[in-house]
Amino acid sequence: MIPLILILVSALFVKGVINKTRARLAGRTGCRFFQPLLTVGVLLGKGEIYSTSSTWLTRVAPAVCLAATLGAALLLPLGIFPAVIGFDGDFILFAYLLALSKLALVLTALESGSSFQGMGSAREVLFSMLVEPCFFLLVGTLAMVTGCGSFSAIFAKFDNMSVNLLMLSLILAYAFLNVALAENGRLPVDDTRTHLELTMVHEAMVLDLSGADLAFVQVAGWLKLSMWGMLVVNMLIPARTAGWLLVAWFLVAMAAYGVVIGLIESLMARNRMTKNATYLVTVSAIGLLGFAVAYVLLTSGL
């Protein structure tokens, strides 16, 4: 249960860290640290408005999105702390629970009948398709190195204290960070602050959502951001770190994760839409590089 609790806790503050980092670098005070949480509280108290073209699917999709994301969170461990649910091949279920969450949003957007939301949905599906090979390359690399087939066993056994495996863990952590940016609609793939419909990706999909539906989608987004951050942190945890030291390490590392995303969003421009495919294929190439490095290390006995 400890990894799940830490995901829920970090989901509450990572977005605030990103917002504050971005604001400070722009010379502003910015909104309150827990403003996103207050916004969700307001949304939960409001009613929902639905398009005349929407059906029951639009009404249940936000809840499906949140439930699927929570289900994926149950599969993530933290170092030696096992996941709530773990079995061989659980990373496949993890990937496709997140895909189910995204599918629910895509279908909701298409039901609205808006051309902008259809455009955003097409882009979201394309980017997910391009980034999926990288995720499986990264997890396959870890499975090959450790000889294990589940998240809990992989991260409990992965030892990054040797020089060679430390190099590998840095490559994989960098690739996981780029996957996290793409999967969460952050720069340089997408810009959560844009208000121009022609450049929207994720934001275009939720234009018609309101009230509790929008709150569910925003909370699911926080959880996804925290879950991908946990995968990044798992790559960097010193081997055999245990107890409260591991918990403290995770919280500090997640704060640093939020600062890094804030720095990226302050110092980088969004890619041109036509360049995003190249960027995501390059991320998969980094995953392939990690796989190749791991294979060389294993075959050479280092």
Condensed to tens digits (0 to 9), the pLDDT of residues 234-280 reads 998 876 777 788 999 999 999 999 999 999 999 988 888 889 999 99
Q: What's the mean pLDDT in 205-210?
A: 89
Q: Supply the pLDDT for residue 148.
A: 93
Least confident of 32-36, 163-167, 191-195: 191-195
| pLDDT value for 204 | 84
Rounded to whole angstroms, the Cα distance separating 68 from 17 reads: 25
Domain layout of the chain by residue ranges: 2-300
Averaged pLDDT, 186-209: 82
Task: Tell me how far the alpha carbon of residue 114 is from its chain's centroid.
Answer: 26
User: pLDDT at position 115, please?
Assistant: 82
Which helix (H) or strand (E) segment is 151 a member of?
helix 151-157
Other Cβ atoms less than 10 A from the Cβ of 41: the count is 11
Tokens at 247, concatenated: 């918990």
Q: What is the mean predicted confidence (pLDDT) over 66-86?
A: 95
Percent of the chain predicted with pLDDT > 90: 70
Which pLDDT value is given to residue 118? 86
First to last CA, the chain: 35
285 falls in which pLDDT band (50, 70, 90)?
very high
Arithmetic mean of pLDDT, 12-38: 93
For tokens 């421009």, the residue is: 269
pLDDT in tens, 102-161: 999 999 999 888 888 888 899 999 999 999 999 999 999 999 999 999 999 999 888 777
pLDDT at 214: 95
Q: 217 falls in which pLDDT band (50, 70, 90)?
A: very high
137/283 Cα distance (integer angstroms): 11
pLDDT in tens, 43-71: 999 989 888 888 899 999 999 999 999 99
SS3 per residue for 30-43: CCCCCHHHHHHHHH
How far, CA to CA in Å, does 5 sit from each of 2, 76, 153, 247? 5, 11, 19, 11
Scored b (16 or more CB within 10 A) or e, 90-125 reads: bbebbbebbbbbbbbbbbbbbbbebebbbbbbebbe
Mean pLDDT of the chain: 91
Instruction: State the pLDDT confidence band at 198, using cuts at 50, 70 and 90.
Output: low
